[in-house]
A and B are shown apart, each in its own frame.
Chain A
Amino acid sequence: MSVKIGDDKFFDRVEKGIDNEFMRKAVREAQSRLEGRKSAIQEEMGNWEDWRELSEEIRQHTLENLDYYLEQFAENVAAQGGHVFFAETAEEANQYISGIIKEKDAKNVIKSKSMVTEEIGMNEKLEELGANVVESDLGEWILQLDDQDPPSHIVVPALHKNKEQIEETFREKRQYDQTSDPNELALFARKELRKDFLAADVGITGNNFAVAESGSISLVTNEGNARLATTLPKTQISVMGMERIVPTWEELDVLVTMLCNSAVGQKLTSYITGLTATKEDGDVDGPEEFHVVIIDNGRSKILGTKYQSALQCIRCAACINVCPVYRHIGGHSYGSIYPGPIGAVLTPLLEGYDEHKELPYASTLCAACTDACPVKIPLHELLVEHRKDIVEKTGKVGFAEKMAYKGFAYGATHPSLYSFGKNQAPGYISSISKSDEDGKGKGFGPAKMWTNIRDLPEKDKDDSFRKWFENRSKGEES
Chain B
Amino acid sequence: MARGTIQNKETFLTNIADQLGRKRKTEGVERPQWSKSPQHDVFAGMSQDEMLDRFVLQCDKIHTNVVVIPQKDLASSFERVVSDMGSGSIVHWNDPRFETYGLKETLKKQEDAGVDVFEWNPDLGHKNIEKAEQANIGVTFSDTTLAESGTVVLHSNAGKGRSVSLLPQRYIAIIPKSTLVPRMTQAAEKLHELADENGRTPSCVNFISGPSNSADIELRLVVGVHGPVQATYIVIDDQ
Q: Which residues of A contact B (CB under 8 A)?
A: 26, 29-30, 33-34, 45, 47, 50-51, 53-54, 57-58, 61, 64-71, 74-75, 77-88, 92, 96, 136-139, 142, 156-159, 162-163, 166, 182-183, 185-187, 189-190, 193-194, 197-198, 214, 216, 222-225, 227-228, 230-232, 242, 247-254, 256-257, 264, 266-286, 290, 294, 296, 300-301, 303-304
Q: A284-B125, A300-B19 are in contact. Are A68 and B227 (CB under 8 A)?
A: no
Within 8 A of A (CB), among B1-55: 1-9, 11-17, 19-21, 24-27, 29, 31-32, 34-39, 41
In the bound assembly, the distance between CA atoms of A34 and B60 in angstroms comes to 20
Q: Does A227 contact B200, Cβ atoms closer than 8 Å? A: no
Residue in A closest to B198 when the chains form the complex, CB atoms: A280
Q: Does B201 contact A216, Cβ atoms closer than 8 Å? A: yes
> B71 in the interface, Cβ–Cβ < 8 Å?
no
Q: Does A270 contact B209, Cβ atoms closer than 8 Å? A: yes
Shortest A34–chain B CB gap in Å is 8
A268 interface neighbour in B31, B163, B207, B217, Cβ under 8 Å: B207
Contacts of B80 in A (CB 8 A): none
> B113 in the interface, Cβ–Cβ < 8 Å?
no
Q: Does B35 contact A57, Cβ atoms closer than 8 Å? A: yes
Q: A78-B3, A249-B188, A279-B203 are in contact. Are A156 and B219 (CB under 8 A)?
A: yes
Q: A26-B219, A224-B226 provided; 11 other pairs, C-beta below 8 A?
A: A53-B35, A78-B3, A86-B7, A96-B7, A138-B217, A139-B216, A227-B162, A249-B188, A250-B185, A267-B149, A270-B208
Cβ contacts A to B, 12 pairs, < 8 Å: A54-B37, A85-B6, A137-B216, A138-B214, A194-B133, A224-B225, A228-B166, A232-B163, A249-B188, A270-B212, A278-B1, A280-B202
In the bound assembly, the distance between CA atoms of A216 and B2 in angstroms comes to 18
A163 interface neighbour in B21, B58, B218, Cβ under 8 Å: B218
Q: Does B222 contact A186, Cβ atoms closer than 8 Å? A: yes
Which one of A273, A274, A300 has the highest number of Cβ atoms from chain B below 10 Å of its Cβ? A274
B206 interface neighbour in A57, A137, A264, A273, Cβ under 8 Å: A273
Q: A67-B16, A81-B3, A224-B227 are in contact. Are A267 and B9 (CB under 8 A)?
A: no
A274 interface neighbour in B20, B148, B201, Cβ under 8 Å: B201
Shortest B44–chain A CB gap in Å is 12
Contacts of B14 in A (CB 8 A): 67
Interface string of B182-198 (1 = CB under 8 A from A): 01110111011001000
Q: Does A51 contact B38, Cβ atoms closer than 8 Å? A: yes
Shortest A293–chain B CB gap in Å is 10
Q: Does B156 contact A227, Cβ atoms closer than 8 Å? A: no
Contacts of B184 in A (CB 8 A): 253, 256-257, 268
Q: A54-B36, A85-B8 are in contact. Are A268 and B202 (CB under 8 A)?
A: no
> B122 in the interface, Cβ–Cβ < 8 Å?
yes
Q: Does A253 contact B39, Cβ atoms closer than 8 Å? A: yes
Q: Does B203 contact A286, Cβ atoms closer than 8 Å? A: yes
Q: Does B156 contact A286, Cβ atoms closer than 8 Å? A: yes
Contacts of A67 in B (CB 8 A): 13-14, 16-17, 20, 24-25
Residue in B closest to A29 when the chains form the complex, CB atoms: B219
B158 interface neighbour in A70, A283, A290, Cβ under 8 Å: A283
Contacts of A182 in B (CB 8 A): 217-218, 220, 222
Contacts of B195 in A (CB 8 A): 214
B: number of interface residues (CB 8 Å): 91
Q: Does B16 contact A66, Cβ atoms closer than 8 Å? A: yes
Contacts of A163 in B (CB 8 A): 217-218, 220
In the bound assembly, the distance between CA atoms of A224 and B34 in angstroms comes to 33
Q: Does A198 contact B219, Cβ atoms closer than 8 Å? A: no
Q: Does B209 contact A269, Cβ atoms closer than 8 Å? A: yes
Contacts of A277 in B (CB 8 A): 4, 203
Q: A67-B16, A68-B25, A249-B191 are in contact. Are A267 and B209 (CB under 8 A)?
A: yes
Residue in A closest to B159 when the chains form the complex, CB atoms: A282
5 closest A-B pairs by beta carbon, nearest first, are A224-B227, A282-B158, A139-B216, A267-B149, A86-B12
Interface string of B128-155 (1 = CB under 8 A from A): 1100010000000000001011110000
Contacts of B148 in A (CB 8 A): 267
B210 interface neighbour in A227, A270, A301, Cβ under 8 Å: A270
Q: Does B34 contact A187, Cβ atoms closer than 8 Å? A: no
> B213 in the interface, Cβ–Cβ < 8 Å?
yes
Contacts of B187 in A (CB 8 A): 253
Shortest B132–chain A CB gap in Å is 8
In the bound assembly, the distance between CA atoms of A277 and B1 in angstroms comes to 11
Contacts of A230 in B (CB 8 A): 204
Q: Does B13 contact A283, Cβ atoms closer than 8 Å? A: no
Q: Does B122 contact A284, Cβ atoms closer than 8 Å? A: yes
In the bound assembly, the distance between CA atoms of A54 and B185 in angstroms comes to 14
> B115 in the interface, Cβ–Cβ < 8 Å?
no
Shortest A114–chain B CB gap in Å is 15
Q: A74-B9, A186-B225, A189-B225 are in contact. Are A271 and B4 (CB under 8 A)?
A: no
